[in-house]
Structure 1
Amino acid sequence: MSQKKVLLIDDEEDILEILSYNLIKEGYQVTTANNGNEGIRKAKEVIPDLILLDVMMPEKDGIETCTELRTIKELQKTLIVFLSARSEEFSQLAGFEAGANDYVVKLIKPKILISKINALLQLRSSSAQNAAKITIGDLIIDKDNVRVTKNGQNFLLPKKEFDLLYLLASNTEKVFKREEILDRVWGNEVVVGERTIDVHIRRLREKLGINTIQTMKGIGYKLVV
């Protein structure tokens, strides 16, 4: 199995040194960058599996960097995790809005952070291998047969409800923005409002008893494992 690649982008040398040491010890291939512009350049060269990104940096801050990284086609499957000293809610929301998969405050201990990185990458790998049939706890979403099973009970969902559930389940590490949900589930069909998404989410919760579809206020929805 090839080494997983992690790119660290932070202007604090001691942070880069500590994290690099722990990640390399864990078996990861590590690349580092001291600012946003350098991070974007190295991300294009390396195509990492995961990027660990600071918010406050010179030249280009983390939010701007993340936003630009998400426009690069080759990096669409790369996980982006913010690691920042800023713990304010608005800062975390800005990170998710920029396209981050997770946001971690820098007080976290290196071993716990490594465990989180391991879990995120393992979950992504598992989801990719089982794309046609996604299993989350007692919930099975079978794309080939357009069928949902929970605790052995089958549910025949309307196409849009199924497509919405499958989208959320396809990447449980991600917060799906309303605009993306509308584009990927409804596409170029009759124009619908954001209220339509809320109605479909409510129906899914009522039918399947799913309490893990989380509303990220002002952003969108996330399926939490």
Structure 2
Amino acid sequence: MAQPRILIIEDERGLTQSLTWYFNKEGFEVTVSNDGLEGLRKAQTTLPDVVLLDLNLPGMNGLDVCRELRAGERTRDMPIIMITAKTEETDQVVGYSLGADDYVGKPFTNKILLHKVKALLRRAQGQGEPGDVTDYSGVKIDRIRHRVTYGDEALDLTPTEFRLLECLVRQPGRAFSRKQLMEAAIGDNSIVLERTIDVHIKTLRQKLTKAGGSADLIETVRSIGYRFREDKVEVK
């Protein structure tokens, strides 16, 4: 089995040295960049399996790097973990809205970060058997190809949006709390805010509408969270 490849875009050299040593020890092939623009170019050319991305970087800040990666044809599904000293709500919400898959605030333990990285790699590799396709009234989810379509239109979803939509449509009519959706889409060890789920839901509704669907396919359940509208769904 090939070594998983990890790109660390971080300007704290002491931290990058520590992470390089640790992930090498855990069997990863590690590439490092101390500059945002340089890191973006490395991600675009080397296509790593996962990116650890600091928020405050010289050259280009982490949010802009994340935005560029999500806009690229070859990098849009690349797993991204934001690493930053900032813990304010707005940073997390903006990071997730741009497509970051997970978020870890400094200081953190290498063991927790490794857990997050491995979880994202498992998800990126796809879970399920060949032909594992779910079709709900025009919303088709292919877990092997990591592809979602509505009618004839492909939905350009981030990995987190994909997992969130899959969680909802597999049990139409069931109301999920924001905490349950965070665990399904982001992971139970992630330090995130419930508001980030609201951001993802808003984006999913926009993408479904753009593809010709209805925004109320995903319904807000007051005081609970969200559900996929059962009366809008036909299981094939």
Is residue 178 from structure 1 mapped to residue 191 from structure 2 by the alignment?
no
CA distance, structure 2, for counterparts of residue 122 and residue 108 of structure 1: 22
Cα distance, 1:110–1:35 mapped onto 2, change above 3 Å: same
1:135-154 equivalence runs, <5 A: 142-143=133-134, 146=135
Secondary structure at the aligned position of 1:8 is classed as strand
Corresponding residue for residue 74 of structure 1: 74
Corresponding residue for residue 169 of structure 1: 166
1:1-225 equivalence runs, <5 A: 1-127=1-127, 130=129, 132-133=131-132, 142-143=133-134, 146=135, 158-159=137-138, 168-169=165-166, 172-173=185-186, 176=200, 178-183=202-207, 185-189=208-212, 192=214, 194-198=215-219, 202-204=226-228
CA distance, structure 2, for counterparts of residue 117 and residue 166 of structure 1: 16
Aligned-pair CA distance for 1:11: 0.7
Is there any run of 5+ residues in structure 2 with no aligned partner, and where?
Answer: 142-148, 151-161, 168-183, 188-196, 232-236
Instruction: Give identity over the alignment, percent.
Output: 30
CA distance, structure 2, for counterparts of residue 161 and residue 28 of structure 1: 34
Cα distance, 1:48–1:177 mapped onto 2, change above 3 Å: farther
Cα deviation, 1:171-218, whole Å, max 9, x if unaligned, reads: 9349645344443x454437x4x44532698553889xxxxxxxxxxx
Contact 2:218-2:228 at 8 Å conserved across structures: no
Cα deviation, 1:55-101, whole Å, max 9, x if unaligned, reads: 11112111111111111111122101101111111111111011100
Contact 2:87-2:105 at 8 Å conserved across structures: yes
Secondary structure at the aligned position of 1:74 is classed as coil
Root-mean-square deviation over aligned CA pairs: 3.3
Secondary structure at the aligned position of 1:198 is classed as strand
Secondary structure at the aligned position of 1:51 is classed as strand
Cα distance, 1:132–1:161 mapped onto 2, change above 3 Å: closer
CA distance, structure 2, for counterparts of residue 118 and residue 166 of structure 1: 16
Aligned-pair CA distance for 1:132: 3.9
Question: What is the identity, as a one-letter code, of the residue corresponding to 1:54?
Answer: D
TM normalised by structure 1 equals 0.68
CA distance, structure 1, for counterparts of residue 22 and residue 114 of structure 2: 8
TM normalised by structure 2 equals 0.65
Cα distance, 1:131–1:57 mapped onto 2, change above 3 Å: farther
CA distance, structure 2, for counterparts of residue 68 and residue 204 of structure 1: 30
Cα distance, 1:161–1:167 mapped onto 2, change above 3 Å: farther
Higher relative contact order (CA 8 A, sep 6+): 2
Q: Count residues with an aligned counterpart.
A: 183
Is there any run of 5+ residues in structure 1 with no aligned partner, and where?
Answer: 134-141, 147-156, 208-225
